[in-house]
Amino acid sequence: MIPPLDQVPEGAVDPALAEQVAALNARYRHHSATEVMKAALKEAGNIALVSSFGAESVVLLHMAAITDRNVPVLFIDTEMLFTETLVYQAEVSERLGLTNVQIIRASEMDLGREDPDGTLHQFDTDACCSLRKTVPLNRALENFDGWITGRKRFQSGTRAALDFFEAEAGTGRIKVNPLAHWAPEDVKNYMEENRLPRHPLVARGYPSIGCAPCTSPVKPGEDPRAGRWRDQNKEECGIHFVNGKVVRIGANQ
């Protein structure tokens, strides 16, 4: 089990947790994503899967469902998502038989104080992501020893060295990335082989889907994430942490 955080200096990775993560990476380095998923649910303590129910989310959700349909799935509803995403979330959850989907939202108090008119995203996207994604998720994750993400190395330069298992500094949690080594064709093939439903916006030019105000269609030849915060020095929503702090990584940083 993960050691108590009060025994670890603020912002540091507990040595025992780092050792556990290193051992897991060594043991599963050449294993499949499905085996990494099984290992996460059996060996990483009380763990949740965090899903946006976006363009590729159904792959990880399917892997979780065939392993344990009762795995906690945390879905962050920013209340600025596309209607298509909300419908897709409900349909996929029912089709896969997921029994423990937990919808996470910002508190009414925080919204009233920091974004009373719903326009924060127009002048400070980082603050909006923090309010509507990072803070609610961090609160929800306080109940867990770790979380499973759908991040992949190919998605951006900031993810190029991604491992299956990571130790989150300052939080005492393990972060698991079963699809870290997958290429785009692996995602496509898995969805086709398992006849998984695609997010309806993918066919309309949205290969990466976030909140409606900050997501635009992608033209042929553009990076798949080019439609996220277009024309801004930003490529992460901020739900990932380094040294216990939110990561705000721009494309040129």
For tokens 């009233």, what's the residue?
A: 112
Q: How far apart are CA 53 and CA 64, in angstroms?
A: 13
Judge contact between 147 and 175, C-beta under 8 A.
Answer: yes
Q: 3-class DSSP state for residue 242? A: strand
Q: Could you tell me the two tokens for 197? A: 């439903």
Three-state SS annotation for 105-142: CCCHHHHHHHCCCCCHHHCCHHHHHHHHHHHHHHHHHC
CA angle 176, 12, 143 (to 5 degrees): 50
Q: How far apart are CA 94 and CA 64, in angstroms?
A: 14
Residue from 76, 198, 66, 192 nearest 129 by CA: 76
Residue-by-residue DSSP string for 171-207: T--EEE-TTTT--HHHHHHHHHHTTPPPPTTGGGT-S
In 3-state terms the chain splits into helix, strand, coil percentages (rounded to 5) of: 40, 10, 50
How far CA 170 is from CA of 17, 76, 135, 245, in Å, comes to 11, 22, 15, 8
- Give the catalytic positions in this structure: 237
